[in-house]
Structure 1
Amino acid sequence: MDFRANTRTEGDINLSSERRSFQEAWLSPETKEVLAEDSRYFLHQSMSTPCLNVITNAEGIYLEDMDGRKIMDFHGNSVHQVGYKNRYVLDAVMAQLENLPFLPRRFTNPVAIRLAQKLVQLAPGDLNKVLFTPGGTSAIGLALKLARKATGKFKTLSTWDSFHGASLDAISVGGEGVFRNGIGPLLPGSEHMMPYNSYRSIFGDHDDGTYSLNYLEYMLEREEDVGAIILEPVRSTDVQIPPQAYFQRLRRLCDQYGVLLILDEIPTAFGRTGTMFVHEHFGIVPDIVVIGKGFGGGVFPMAGIIVREGLDVAQDISLGHYTHEKSSVGCAAALATIEFIENNGLLEHAVQMGAYLQQRLTEMMQRHEAIGDVRVIGMLAGIELVTNRHTKEKAAGHTEKVMYLCMERGLSFKVSNGNVITLVPPLITTQQQLDQALTIIEEAIDITFTT
């Protein structure tokens, strides 16, 4: 099978020879039998079925597989900020299950209102209105529909290589080939521009995103029906972190041309970068913030949007007619998650661990020519592996080998864009546990690039 570069933009490949070798050597016959049953009944798709392993338990920062091995989970689909089986979150969920397990539409409940109040208190500026959904992809749909309703304009601009979910509208504004290729016509009005750092190969470090924004301004001058720009403030997969100047100019352009700024913080809000919301790093207030993943505390699927009060303009239509829109159990989980982050100083901890990650990874880069770059913001880090540091040629095959060597030693993480080790540890991870994980990674790099 030909694994082209655009099939490696988000995650590892589930049909590669490296995966087969890992499974053959490390999984028991019983586990292989369960995986075969999974493969028999579930539709196959990239990055999912056929699956890697069978997980039977999870607690704190650890997964436990069917063969009894404990694995540090520095992947977690970005839902596990407060760790697995967080007692504070579980207690809130159990109490709500005993009281009101499901809320029919047309009604409200106190825990939903308390959650909404909490989000409004935390969000800056006039981000004073919320709406909840069961998942991040549907929250993107809310944001896109609200932008059309509020502006009367149907076009959106987003960037190539971005990810905003897997539904048809979300992959239309997304820019990854592994989700779009061969699907056919997508959502009309979805246009794309280059990512902020796409001109680095031409202008080097002198490019702070200005060149891509010059192109954006060129588009906005000619496209009068653009209603919104949707971006990830930090690219969570391969950890791309634009400078503050990029977002401040972007905010000015949106204001100048009457375009709404939608920031997709689904995988990165709630402490991941050391702040409750990612846009706090950039000194701007977006028009719509999309949240999800860690919002539900690793227990319940919860997502939503936080919007400027002036965008409350859609009472005559149903923006999000979802059965579990205002879930009592989901709201209890989300409120408990935020309270746990605040009460346990996890924002401050993320900042401290981010500084430690930056120090350790910089030292590793000095020791290993195979590390072409490291990028860190809070407890989100990317380690870019290359075959040549000067040409930045991707070490895609090597990176997959590193991942499986780490898995054998008890560490799981995502591989992004073919050659980026993406580390997403729970916010409760200690410095000692980070040390252990980084040592495992460095040993795996040593083995891979010296044999």
Structure 2
Amino acid sequence: MRTEGDINLSAERRHWQAANLSEATLDVLEEDSRYFVHQSMSTPCLNVITNAEGIYLEDMDGRKYMDFHGNSVHQVGYKNRYVIDAMKAQLDELPFLPRRYTNPVAIKLARKLAELAPGDLNKVLFTPGGTSAIGMALKLARKATGKFKTISTWDSFHGAGLDAISVGGEGVFRNGIGPLLSGTEHMMPYNSYRCFMGDCDGCGLKCLDYLAYMLEREGDVGAIVMEPIRSTDVQIPPKAYFKRLRELCDRYGVLLILDEIPTAFGRTGTMFVHEHYDIVPDIVAIGKGFGGGVFPIAGIIVREGLDVAQDISLGHYTHEKSSVGCAAALATIEYIEQNGLLAHAREMEGVIARRFDAMKAKHEAIGDVRVKGMLAAIELVTDRTTKEKATEEAEKVMYLCMERGLSFKVAGGNVLTLVPPLITSQEQLEWAMDVVEEAIVVTFQQ
């Protein structure tokens, strides 16, 4: 089963490159392919990018693309001057901080996160990447509970490290690797086509009945690891799902770890995704957009009662309290707040949802649409009744949109996932949705 629609070895990609890229660009791609280790969804690469600014990418041939993908790092846009100025000032003042020491900007950032996060989520630990944030969360859960098992969901993504793919559920990362981390149990994801009910509407969330059964049988589960909204194909559980999940964790003495690495910091219209569910998780993993689309920084925010690991090293990474990274992250949060981007994301949610609903009413190829803030998905199907995936068609739609100057990713084989920067205007969103609709019409008329 294809988990992505724009894989890097497809005939559709080769056709697009041959029709749209210059010989000079193709030569650079060939050189890149020569020196970098090949891997699925990456090398060989799609194109050569020479500039990124605002909501746009610019390639070597001078073609611009409105970037509704961005690996979920571009909430405040590319080359955000406020973020870059903060980093430049920090570079002049303190470019690197050896471990064992602290610095004022790191403390200021930690204090800000504690103020923003609900409840007693007021302890933090930073790291250079999201995968290592998940690793720290898993280690802390073991230390705090004395239990090593986890339960997570199939189809989830929590990073590419060996521990992260063990709790993750995407085959493109797990398959063919060999033995993974022991004790990493899995259950069906919310609203999965693999769910034994087939449809979550009206089932009473029987998947959580199964989770309760697992917790009762296993007995030694230390943590549940879950994405509050699955970012790849934008699955959005109802509030009742997480209310009951929180209750199950409390009943069985299990920590709730929420992976908000791709979705925190305004993507869904709130600073943190779990705010939509009126719950307080035990550990929140953050990253990607945390660094303002410039600097790689991630971390965990944990409840104060979990500060129990003084005798071991949860992370102790070389760039753990990076002065430059902390300056970038703090500036990112300040920019979101000062420019009203949370409110803008909530307003644009209504714009996107109304347009998508109208598109679904007109086009039988659209099976479902899902929107939360400025995170949106359109499922393409060959039959609405059977929900048969229109996998080849989804890839064609994506490349037609690329030809018009709109970039996004395809998830799950048939889901057009749109992740616009929070600075995207309504006019720009309307243009992008016009391009998507036109590409759907052309593809399904062929």
Alignment of 1:205-220 (within 5 A): 205-208=201-204, 210-220=205-215
1:204–1:311: structure 2 CA closer, same or farther, 3 Å change rule?
closer
1:31-430 matches, within 5 Å, as 31-198=25-192, 199=195, 201-202=197-198, 205-208=201-204, 210-430=205-425
Q: Secondary structure at the match of 1:318?
A: coil
1:207 Cα deviation from its structure 2 partner: 2.5
% same residue: 79
Q: C-alpha deviations, 1:62-94, integer Å up to 9, x for none?
A: 000000001000000000000000000000000
Aligned partner of 1:224: which letter? Answer: G
Cα pair 1:197 1:207 within 8 Å, conserved? no
Distance 1:367 1:10 in 2: 26
- Decide whether the 8 Å contact of 1:55 with 1:64 is kept in 2: yes
Structure 2 length-normalised TM? 0.99
Separation of aligned partners in 2, 1:332 and 1:61:
22
SS of 2:201's partner is: helix
Q: Secondary structure at the match of 2:295?
A: coil
Deviations 1:366-405 (A, max 9, x none): 1111000000000000000000111110000000000000
Secondary structure, aligned partner of 1:229: strand
Please say if residues 265 and 289 of structure 1, whose CA atoms lie closer than 8 Å, have aligned partners that are also in contact: yes
Q: TM-score, normalised by structure 1?
A: 0.97
User: Counterpart of 1:254 in structure 2: which amino acid?
Assistant: C
Taking the aligned partners of 2:89 and 2:21, their CA distance within structure 1 comes to 38
Question: 2:7 aligned with 1:13, yes or no?
Answer: yes
Runs of 5+ unmatched residues, structure 2: none
Q: Letter of the 1:315 partner, please give it.
A: Q
Contact 1:239 1:376 in 2 (8 A): yes
The count of residues paired between Structure 1 and Structure 2 equals: 444
Q: CA distance change for structure 1 residues 203 and 434 in 2, over 3 Å: closer, same or farther?
A: closer
Residues 200, 207 of structure 1: 8 Å contact kept: no
| Deviation string, structure 1 residues 80-119 (Cα, Å, up to 9, x no partner) | 0000000000000000011111000010000000000000
Equivalent-residue separation in structure 1 for 2:67 and 2:311 (angstroms): 44
Show the counterpart of 2:442.
447
Runs of 4+ with >4 A deviation: none
- Asked if 1:433 is matched to 2:411, the reply is no
CA contact (8 A) 1:155 1:227 kept: yes
| 1: CA distance, partners of 2:78 / 2:199 | 44
How far apart are the structure 2 equivalents of 1:203 and 1:415? 22
Deviation at 1:203, TM superposition (A): 5.2
**Unaligned 5+ residue runs, structure 1?**
none
The 2-side partners of 1:241 and 1:21 are apart by 35
Please give the alpha-carbon distance, in whole angstroms, between the structure 2 residues aligned to 1:446 and 1:214.
Answer: 41
How much is the aligned-residue C-alpha RMSD, in angstroms?
0.9
Q: Deviations over 1:212-255 (max 9, x none)?
A: 10001001111111000000000000000000000000000000
